[in-house]
Amino acid sequence: MHPIVIMDSGAGGLTVFEEISRMMPWLPVIYCADNAGFPYGPRSEEDVVHRVSHYLGILCQKHTPSLAVLACNTASTVALTRIRKELTIPIVGVVPAIKTAATHSRNKCIGLLATPGTVKRSYTDNLIEDFASDCEVIRAGSTRLVHLAENKLHGEPVEQHEFDEILEPFKSAQKKPDHIVLGCTHFPLVREELSKSMPDVTWVDSGEAIARRVSSLLGDITHTSDSGPVSEMSVNHLAVFTGENEALGSLARAFKMRGFDVLDHQF
Ligand code: DGL
């Protein structure tokens, strides 16, 4: 059974991994955290595209995955076209679930909470124009929230007032959004804290939809490649990191706790 690759700047893609492994517990995963480039939010588009293309290229050569998930909105909104040209396997991107939020919103006011990169991308403008033209859309970009999510995952304490401050653009709006899109894969890690600050909001993420897409693509792949039956017993996940930093100890621990073997300095 060929593995799939999941890539993000850090641990945010674990929220996508969790949905995928809930649906397909037999599927081996190679998770790449580009911790040397973390966070992607403030980086230039060219820089993000270059990093993703470089590391996914190496991973595909080394591990021959059946598909790759770019579990990062900041990178997907800018790099998908290029990496789909460069790689021959299917690439699943993660982009903000604007359509879902707009469809379910009762008051036709939705929020987008993402990185500063994602909120200002033309890809995001197009999503809003195509799927939420009947809604008022309030956008808030935050790199601090990405760090808070990583900190929580590393077991460090996070303070509720920081979440209240980050959500201020939604809380202080005249018309408040009833649905807010978590347009960064890190943010479901702090859903509880976000909900405490805005208890009436429905938080929308893309994790489950991505898992369904992966399942449907793998169904197509296994039907056409005759790869035989799969054993649930033999599943092995591997986490690789692009760099070493002071946080790698706790980052590696978070992956180990989720059943990953951990390798650093793979590149
Ligand atoms: N997890 C990422 C996303 O979905 C990127 C966070 C960052 O590195 O800024 O956007």
**pLDDT value, residue 265:** 61
**pLDDT value, residue 192:** 98
Q: Ligand 1, from 35, 70, 112, 115: best to mutate by most atoms within 8 Å of Cβ? A: 115
- CA separation (Å) from 220 to 5, 92, 174, 209? 17, 14, 47, 17
Q: Ligand 1, from 8, 70, 242: best to mutate by most atoms within 8 Å of Cβ? A: 8
Provide the pLDDT confidence category of residue 169 given band limits of 50, 70 and 90: very high
Give this prediction's pTM: 0.93
Question: First CA to last CA across the chain, in angstroms?
Answer: 24
For residue 8, the CA-to-ligand 1 centroid distance in Å is 7
pLDDT in tens, 34-87: 999 999 999 999 999 999 999 999 999 999 999 999 999 999 999 999 999 999
**Domains contained in the chain, CATH given:** 4-94+208-264 (3.40.50.1860), 98-205 (3.40.50.1860)
Provide the pLDDT confidence category of residue 152 given band limits of 50, 70 and 90: very high
Counting from 1 in the atom list of ligand 1, the atom nearest the Cα of 38 is 8
Question: Any residues with CB less than 8 A from the CB of 79 and at least 6 apart, and which?
Answer: 48, 49, 52, 53, 70
CA distance 262 to 264: 7
